[in-house]
Amino acid sequence: MKNHGKKMIAPIVITIVFLLYLAVYITVLLLATDFSPVMILFAIPLFALGIGMIYVLKIRINEIRSGEEDDLSNY
């Protein structure tokens, strides 16, 4: 059985960096301006991006564990 740990490092690190960036951006967005309900409307898509990124990471980890990490080499 192959060791898939090294192949999972990059997607996890990229997801963590992206989520940290989104957290900082949302914090600055909500705290640097006068708080209003409109600002929440700007923050909602950013939260959706974060949730989507976590979902994609979960799918990618499942692909790596199942041995589909080299799909492009089949074409």
Sign, CA torsion 6/7/12/15: positive
Predicted pLDDT of residue 30: 75
- In the prediction, which pLDDT does 20 show? 96
What per-residue confidence (pLDDT) applies to 1? 44
d(CA 74, CA 40) in angstroms, rounded, equals 45
- Token pair of 54, please? 């976590």
- Residue 25: its pLDDT value, please? 87
Instruction: Give me 58's structure tokens.
Output: 């979960």
pLDDT at residue 36 in the model: 77
DSSP string, 15-40: HHHHHHHHHHHHHHHHHSS---HHHH
Mean pLDDT by runs of 10 across the 75 residues of the chain is: 74 94 86 77 87 94 78 58
